[in-house]
Chain A
Amino acid sequence: MAQNILQVENVKKYFKVGKKDLKAVDGVSFTLEKHKSLGIVGESGSGKSTLARLILGLIPPTEGDVYLLGKSIFKASKNEVKQLRREIQMVFQNPYLSLFPHMTIGSNIEEPLRLHNIGTKKTRKSVILNLMEQVGVPPQYYNSFPHELSGGQQQRVAIARALALKPQLIVFDEPVSSLDVSIQAQILNLLLELKRKTDLSYILIAHDLAVVEYVSDLIAVMYLGVFVEFASTEELLNEPLHPYTQTLLKSVPVIGGEIRDITISGEIPSPINPPSGCPFHPRCPYKKEICEMEKPILKELKQQHYVACHLY
């Protein structure tokens, strides 16, 4: 338990849409050990971002709980929450929208330190410049404004801001999907470097398996608000068990490779009107009768390899 930095227990988040519930996250449980990185992959609408906000405690769950370092972020007192906030930070999808537009780069990175009353104005400045160097933002941008920087630089600044409090866990919500491919690689390398140099754990959310596999120890595949498969990166890539994971892997085009004919058709169903039984059954090539009736639960098929599928 002590080693677990994050424990998510059956969290659910339903949004009211008219009289119906939109089941954005419908029962997710997992634990993350210290100094591990978890990638969460899913199509848009699979509830990844909602899950991220639940983990951060930014929105209250409909059910379930999130424990950070053994403490529930939703049941903690105001002061405890503020303390917990120092341990968990978030980097958002669009750096331009998530940086404070009226503040300089320096002030942006300083903001978490100021909010938590860490250091004096002078000592903070050296901390900020160190952080900027760590993430690769030239110091002459100290007094620039976010809109004067490129997207890649902005995201570096956002990462520096998240690092300022020396958190144990950072949740990256699609940190590279708004960036150019060449910049994406740089940011991902930065993540790897941070993990190697510090004892940071992180959760990386993406819709692209290629992004996640590069920088994660573990991968969870999310579909319509649930984890359908959860395993170490190696396991998952070498031996994907869930049909959805298999098709995801096969849908990554390979230059010079053969043209594959197995792709998933259709789109992710609406979480307001989820299919009965297994959420994936309308698109599943191996659909059985039971799949329409009963929702499969996530079970440990092999050591540390969880799958929610009736095939196994």
Chain B
Amino acid sequence: MVENYNDVKTVNTFEIKERSYFSILWGRFKKNKMAVISLYFIIFLIVVAIVGPLVSPYHYTMMDYTALYQTPNAKHWMGTDDGGRDLATLIIYGLRNALIVGFGAGLVEVFIGILIGAIAGYLGGQVDNILMRFVDIMFALPSFLLNLVLVVVLGRSLFTILLAIGLTSWAGMARLVRGQVLTVKQLEYIEAAKALGASNLTIILRYVIPNSVGPIAVALSFNIPGAMMMESGLSLIGLGVMPPMPSWGGLIAQGSRWMLSYPHMVLFPAGAFALTILAFTFVGDGLRDAFDPKQSD
């Protein structure tokens, strides 16, 4: 460390590299190769989900009775299903739905989780007690069952499904955020912030949440595939998105019926699903490495 700065000042003509917290995180994230590959893969999936439906010559409602159960070929890259629909197109639409449900439910979950967790953790006392008992109740109820009820009540659309999944899965996030807030709030820099004249709301938003963002992001990257699984689970038992809109769960359910004679019908959607979930998990690992405060660059 340079203590005598008079010399330094003349040498260094004050070039300030713009460095953000984000660039430091990225530096650490980059070290995890699988996480980086997975991140690119997820970006690729998002691009495919947006562009795919536009460029595909097929539509998920287009049935071709002259091309049933086809194995992969030049016209149908992943073959066709029992209705002669192009499997690749179905998977792309399924991917789009899975991503919408995954990110949408994640967003709902993070929003409710941070709201409840931060209020409970920061205010403490009776408020904390009441909110956390509510969280305990949410935990105790089987979320799949709760999802079924909500989907039945709210109706079966993509939006209601992601809402239902988000509404039933925020309890863990709330607990996590509360724990983080409890840890951060007793740190000395929160007291310093008070001494500087920051209000409670400012303290939560500017100092507590940013310093809790690591565990939240990590949890989220594991919960997004969780939401996708939940949606597939609903589709599997016929309560997911309304057919003929394809969903991965539905495709797997349908394909598994022909598993022995036409294995491609289950292998492609199941494979795509597995890879996607794996990618999110690897990104979660990378994020955890990046946010780990013990690691220094």
> What is A's interface to B at a CB cutoff of 8 Å?
53, 56, 58, 81-82, 85-86, 89-90, 92-94, 97-104, 111-112, 115-116, 136-140, 142-145, 147, 149-150, 152-153, 158, 161, 165, 186
Contacts and interface: CB of A to CB of B under 8 A. Distances in A.
22 contacts: A56-B195, A81-B197, A97-B189, A98-B192, A99-B189, A99-B192, A100-B189, A100-B192, A102-B21, A102-B211, A103-B21, A111-B196, A115-B202, A138-B2, A138-B8, A138-B12, A139-B12, A140-B12, A145-B21, A152-B3, A161-B192, A161-B196
A143 B191 contact: no
A115 B200 CA distance: 12
Contact of A97 (B5, B16, B188, B293): B188
B207 interface: yes
* Residue among A86, A93, A138, A149 with max Cβ neighbours from chain B (10 Å): A138
A147 B296 contact: yes
A89 B14 CA distance: 30
B260 interface: no
A103 B193 CA distance: 13
Contacts of A93: 188
B196 A89 contact: yes
Contacts of A104: 19
Contact of B14 (A81, A139, A149): A139
A143 B16 contact: yes
Interface string B179-190: 000000001110
A100 B207 contact: yes
Interface string B259-297: 000000000000000000000000000000000010010
A153 B14 contact: no
B24 A143 contact: no
Interface in B50-72: none
B75 interface: no
B9 A139 contact: yes
Interface of B: 1-3, 5, 8-9, 12, 14-19, 21, 24, 187-189, 191-198, 202, 207, 210-211, 293, 296
Contacts of A90: 192, 195
B195 A85 contact: yes
Nearest to B196: A112
Contact of B17 (A139, A143, A147, A153): A143
A115 B16 CA distance: 24
Contacts of B18: 143
Contact of B1 (A81, A102, A150): A150
Given A92-B188, A92-B191, A99-B189, A136 B196 contact: no
B23 to A, nearest CB: 10
A89 B196 CA distance: 7
A58 B197 contact: no
A92 B193 CA distance: 11
